[in-house]
Chain A
Amino acid sequence: MRADRLSLLFTYLVSGLGAGAALLHAAPSFAFLQLVFIGLGAAWDLRERHPISPWMLTTATVIGLLVAIALPNANGPVGRLMSAAVVLMGGKLLAPKANRDHLQIMVLSLILLVGAAILSVNLAFAVLFAAYLLLTTLALVWLPFGATMRTRRVERGLLLRLGGVGLGLVIGALPLLVFFFAGLPRTDVPFLRGVAPAASQVSGFSNQVTLGDVGRIAQSRQVAFRAEILDRKGPLPSAPYWRGLVLEVTDGISWTARPADLLGDPVRRPGAPAPTNTVAQLVYLEPHGLTDLFGLDRPLQVTLPSPWETRVQDAAAQAPRPLNRRIRYEVISDLDDAWPVALPPAQRALDLELPAGLPPVLAQRAQEIVGAETNAYRKAESILAYFHSGEFHYAVSGLGEGQGHPLSVFLEQTKTGYCELFASSMALMLRRVGVPARMVAGYLGGDFNPTGNYYLVRQLSAHVWVEAYIDGRGWVRFDPTPAQRGPGFARGSRRGSFRPLVDDGRVALEVAGPGLRLRPRRADRAAPTHGGWSRPPDGLAPRPLGAGGSGCDGAPGSGSGGRNRHLAAAGARKRGRGHLCPPAPAAPPPRSGTQPGRRTLRLRRAGGSRSTGQG
């Protein structure tokens, strides 16, 4: 083979990897354009005739570059950079190539690979990168020879020897690669924001999702988070509920979180037993663009990486700003059935409020089911039994477009729906029969990974359920959605399957990495915040607080039922902040069509376009 042809072969192989990266990122137009450039360039190089004159090519490249930069790109600056790299590479591929052109093409290919890595965190990238590392090393070893030997034929023995050198370099580089990978500095706080696009909003946990999205969500295998179960081995005895957001305000169609400062956090009922069934988890949350943090139902305390503070309200934690990067935090949850908190009269009124315009069938059915029963818990159980009787079915597609209120369509006509319809119906029925009720949004189930002792929870596991307030017991969870959920729900461990091991590798590579501690340091774990509790739950507090709250402006005193953010001071003090009142969390930026701080779940309006976002 001629020396210069071999250089070209390497260059085209490496640029092919760039096309692979574009494909990986699901940008077929990029990949197609790239493949056209590769095909044309290779044909012209083989014929050693390049029909486009250099000035024409330069002009076309400059114009293409301007277009690539100017065109709106859903992937932000990184997407623009990738478009620009494709155009530049086209300019290089279609021209005769000097040695530096080969190098530039390899750099552009790497930029495409890196762009793909930033935009879509994917294990396939590691395979592409391994191929890139090998090919580029061989190419880099070869290129100076190609430049020296030009059109001379390459002796086969020299090629084999150089191939051996290249392979040796790659193998020799691996331990160094591991060393650098482990040793490079890492930070939880980026120094430059806005370069990477906001995380994809394919989340089952969303404010408003159209009907078409429900199917997409229900089928989306995108990872929502991974939760490593600390302190105990093996899967939990039943499918875990992952709590995210409490929805209490409804107009019959949509459900919204109560405004943050409308009522304080619930106060633990005097004399209630301390939580006995607590589980610590380490959650690796994929970016979802919202502020919600998830934990096993019900999180008692959530510890974000310093310097972030979290706020737990109604046992649902919020980050101070939208999460556009992967984040790791620790949660301690109470798995007890009931949450023994008091229900102040104002909140009781809120959780009993029935919106105007509800279909009459709701009240009729509620009355039929409950009958003369007076016990709140048995009322709730009978409504639950109604939905679990087999009359109702779970489905996310093929629901049709009935006429009228979505709940009346659900209860009277289709009797088929997804979790919002079940949960919304039950919550409103409970309110109708005088039991305070609300909805909780989160996830249900997940794949338990026995080797890593963690749950992998995908978007298709998004779920809503009902919490009813039973006097004397507190908030109790009821899930009216029938058990025959779609795939991905409540799956336990799959021993013998290869997938957990693959995900282990993915965790090691993408999620944790040696730079991120898999488990937080003891000191971190001993300095949790206690949002949501007027005092730290017994046995959980690292130390008793002294005259808690003294000097905290705006924070009511201990046990007052206020937000009690001062309790986060334990963590703040541990980090040497020197004051007991952490700053109020920043409000998330307004999202189009939604109120900041108010999260909404909308039911499908008959004939309308809005639908729920949860399964």
Chain B
Amino acid sequence: MQRALTFRRIRVRITASGWLYIALTLVLGAAAVNTANNLLYLVVSGLLALMALSGVVAYRALHSLSLELLPPREWFAGQETPVRLVVHNPRRVLPTYLLRIAREGEEALITEIAPGSSAQTTLPMTFARRGEHDLGEVLVTSVFPFAFFQRGGIVRLERKVLVYPRPLPVPPEAMGPPAGYEMGRGSARAGVGGDFRGTRPYQPGDSLSRISWKTWGRLGQIAVKQFEEDGGPPLLLTLESVPGPSLEERVGQLTTLVLKADKDGRSCGLHLPGVQIEPALGIAHRERQLRALALLRT
């Protein structure tokens, strides 16, 4: 899923300080020619030499960089989500400094990327609507070595991400009775109340309290304990399970319920137009449900 993005064309924007520098060079150049003063020629030559060299250095510093994007595992609409950006500097000698990555008003700064290494930063991104989105473009610039010229360019990320629906509050009556009260069960506790069924390998997102330390001690593998009817009886959600009123609101409310069921350790399924997901547990199942909600069309 991760792919390196390489700069193609590098553009230069002259900063206010840069205009000052250029004006100074021109004025001194005119003064040098006018006075035929070799010392002034020396100054002007110095200014020109630094300008030229900074251009070359800046170009070299940006040219062979590559950018890698690490979007988060879950991304909800309307929420500012930090996207990890990893910049690789494959050169042997030349470091890169002060790399700014900007997108839609948000900006991330990488102070230094040593030669032959990578540096990372996070760029907050927000999508208002659920569904599949193109990450679009970022502006990658650097003022290194001097803040007179900002060099860089627009880099197309060529990356699509799936944004889950924004979780919306659900009216209490739509939440149903709390787990544990259903089907005449006496226990009021949700979560780990059922009989021990066995272990399964750990997946990211599993609660630490369910890690089977004995298994880890014996086998050296991290596993989590699973219980019968963990968190309550299976929950089957449809578009009619929530009040709405619009489709987007219902999808948002269903998202809330899916997330709550997962948190409660209660198996949950979705019967939506064109989508049949039977109740189950686990992080992959949760992702399948959220994905279905994100892509739901009627």
Taking the nearest CB of chain A, how far is it from the CB of B24, in angstroms? 6
Residue A509 contacts which of B39, B95, B143 (CB distance < 8 angstroms)? Answer: B39
Contact between B41 and A172, CB atoms less than 8 A apart = no
Contact between B98 and A129, CB atoms less than 8 A apart = no
A257 on the B face (CB < 8 A): no
* A-chain residues with CB within 8 Å of residue B50 when the two chains form the complex: 133, 137, 169, 173
Contact between A184 and B44, CB atoms less than 8 A apart = yes
Contact between B145 and A141, CB atoms less than 8 A apart = yes
B29 on the A face (CB < 8 A): yes
A140-189, CB < 8 A from B: 140-141, 143-145, 147-149, 158, 161-162, 165, 169, 172-174, 176-181, 184-188
Contact between A176 and B49, CB atoms less than 8 A apart = yes
Contact between B45 and A196, CB atoms less than 8 A apart = no
* B-chain residues with CB within 8 Å of residue A186 when the two chains form the complex: 33, 36, 41
Rounded to whole angstroms, the CA-CA distance of A114 and B54 in the bound complex is: 23
Q: How many residues of A contact B (CB 8 A)?
A: 55
Residue A177 contacts which of B24, B39, B46 (CB distance < 8 angstroms)? Answer: B46
Contact between A144 and B42, CB atoms less than 8 A apart = no
- Given the interface pairs A140-B147, A143-B147, A148-B109, the reply to whether A326 lies near B36 with Cβ below 8 Å is yes
* B-chain residues with CB within 8 Å of residue A251 when the two chains form the complex: none
Of chain A, the residue at the smallest CB distance from B43 is A114
* B-chain residues with CB within 8 Å of residue A149 when the two chains form the complex: 111
Rounded to whole angstroms, the CA-CA distance of A148 and B107 in the bound complex is: 13
Rounded to whole angstroms, the CA-CA distance of A59 and B170 in the bound complex is: 64
Taking the nearest CB of chain A, how far is it from the CB of B45, in angstroms? 4
Contact between B24 and A110, CB atoms less than 8 A apart = yes
Stretch in A10-18, A39-47, A118-126 with 4+ CB within 8 Å of B = A118-126
Contact between A181 and B146, CB atoms less than 8 A apart = no
Rounded to whole angstroms, the CA-CA distance of A325 and B144 in the bound complex is: 41
Taking the nearest CB of chain B, how far is it from the CB of A11, in angstroms? 14
* B-chain residues with CB within 8 Å of residue A187 when the two chains form the complex: 33, 36
**What is the predominant secondary structure among interface residues of chain A facing chain B?**
helix
* A-chain residues with CB within 8 Å of residue B49 when the two chains form the complex: 173-174, 176-177, 179-180
Centre residue among B38, B45, B147 by max chain A CB count within 10 A: B38
Contact between A107 and B20, CB atoms less than 8 A apart = yes
* B-chain residues with CB within 8 Å of residue A121 when the two chains form the complex: 37, 39
A259 on the B face (CB < 8 A): no
Contact between B46 and A129, CB atoms less than 8 A apart = yes
B296 on the A face (CB < 8 A): no
Contact between A114 and B40, CB atoms less than 8 A apart = yes
B85 on the A face (CB < 8 A): no
A337 on the B face (CB < 8 A): no
A262 on the B face (CB < 8 A): no
B80-105, CB < 8 A from A: 95, 97-98
* A-chain residues with CB within 8 Å of residue B146 when the two chains form the complex: 140-141, 144
A68-105, CB < 8 A from B: 99-100, 103-104
Of chain A, the residue at the smallest CB distance from B61 is A165
B52 on the A face (CB < 8 A): yes
Contact between B52 and A176, CB atoms less than 8 A apart = yes
Contact between A510 and B41, CB atoms less than 8 A apart = no
B57 on the A face (CB < 8 A): yes
Taking the nearest CB of chain A, how far is it from the CB of B277, in angstroms? 48
Taking the nearest CB of chain B, how far is it from the CB of A141, in angstroms? 5
B2 on the A face (CB < 8 A): no
Contact between A176 and B53, CB atoms less than 8 A apart = yes
B128 on the A face (CB < 8 A): no
Residue A190 contacts which of B17, B34, B52, B97 (CB distance < 8 angstroms)? Answer: B34
* A-chain residues with CB within 8 Å of residue B52 when the two chains form the complex: 176
Rounded to whole angstroms, the CA-CA distance of A326 and B95 in the bound complex is: 46
Contact between A126 and B33, CB atoms less than 8 A apart = no
A331 on the B face (CB < 8 A): no
- Given the interface pairs A176-B52, A195-B34, A326-B36, the reply to whether A181 lies near B20 with Cβ below 8 Å is no
Contact between B43 and A510, CB atoms less than 8 A apart = no
Q: How many residues of B contact A (CB 8 A)?
A: 42
* B-chain residues with CB within 8 Å of residue A144 when the two chains form the complex: 98, 143-144, 146-147
Rounded to whole angstroms, the CA-CA distance of A416 and B253 in the bound complex is: 115
B192-242, CB < 8 A from A: none
Taking the nearest CB of chain B, how far is it from the CB of A517, in angstroms? 13
- Given the interface pairs A110-B24, A148-B98, the reply to whether A191 lies near B34 with Cβ below 8 Å is yes
A113 on the B face (CB < 8 A): yes
Of chain B, the residue at the smallest CB distance from A325 is B36
Contact between B48 and A180, CB atoms less than 8 A apart = yes
Centre residue among B37, B54, B98 by max chain A CB count within 10 A: B37
* A-chain residues with CB within 8 Å of residue B284 when the two chains form the complex: none
* B-chain residues with CB within 8 Å of residue A143 when the two chains form the complex: 147
Residue A145 contacts which of B24, B39, B97 (CB distance < 8 angstroms)? Answer: B97
A192 on the B face (CB < 8 A): yes
Contact between B40 and A118, CB atoms less than 8 A apart = yes
Residue A188 contacts which of B28, B36, B39 (CB distance < 8 angstroms)? Answer: B36
* A-chain residues with CB within 8 Å of residue B38 when the two chains form the complex: 181, 509-511, 513, 515
Rounded to whole angstroms, the CA-CA distance of A148 and B109 in the bound complex is: 9
B32 on the A face (CB < 8 A): yes
Contact between A117 and B46, CB atoms less than 8 A apart = no
Contact between B54 and A169, CB atoms less than 8 A apart = yes
Rounded to whole angstroms, the CA-CA distance of A143 and B147 in the bound complex is: 8
* A-chain residues with CB within 8 Å of residue B98 when the two chains form the complex: 144-145, 148
Of chain B, the residue at the smallest CB distance from A123 is B39
B112 on the A face (CB < 8 A): yes
Rounded to whole angstroms, the CA-CA distance of A515 and B33 in the bound complex is: 11
Contact between B53 and A114, CB atoms less than 8 A apart = no
* A-chain residues with CB within 8 Å of residue B97 when the two chains form the complex: 145, 162, 165
Rounded to whole angstroms, the CA-CA distance of A195 and B38 in the bound complex is: 16
Rounded to whole angstroms, the CA-CA distance of A147 and B17 in the bound complex is: 14
Interface residues of A (CB under 8 A from B): 99-100, 103-104, 107, 110, 113-114, 117-118, 121, 125-126, 129, 133, 137, 140-141, 143-145, 147-149, 158, 161-162, 165, 169, 172-174, 176-181, 184-188, 190-192, 195-196, 325-326, 509-511, 513, 515
Q: A114-B43, A133-B50, A515-B41 are in contact. List 17 more A-B contacts (CB 8 A).
A: A110-B43, A118-B31, A140-B145, A144-B144, A148-B109, A161-B95, A169-B53, A169-B57, A173-B49, A177-B45, A177-B46, A179-B49, A180-B45, A186-B36, A195-B34, A510-B38, A513-B41
Q: Which 8 A-B pairs have the closest CB atoms?
A: A176-B49, A180-B45, A117-B39, A173-B49, A181-B45, A177-B49, A513-B38, A140-B146
Interface residues of B (CB under 8 A from A): 16-17, 20, 24, 28-46, 48-50, 52-54, 57, 95, 97-98, 109, 111-112, 143-148
Interchain residue pairs with CB less than 8 A apart (8): A117-B43, A141-B146, A144-B147, A148-B111, A162-B97, A181-B45, A190-B35, A191-B33
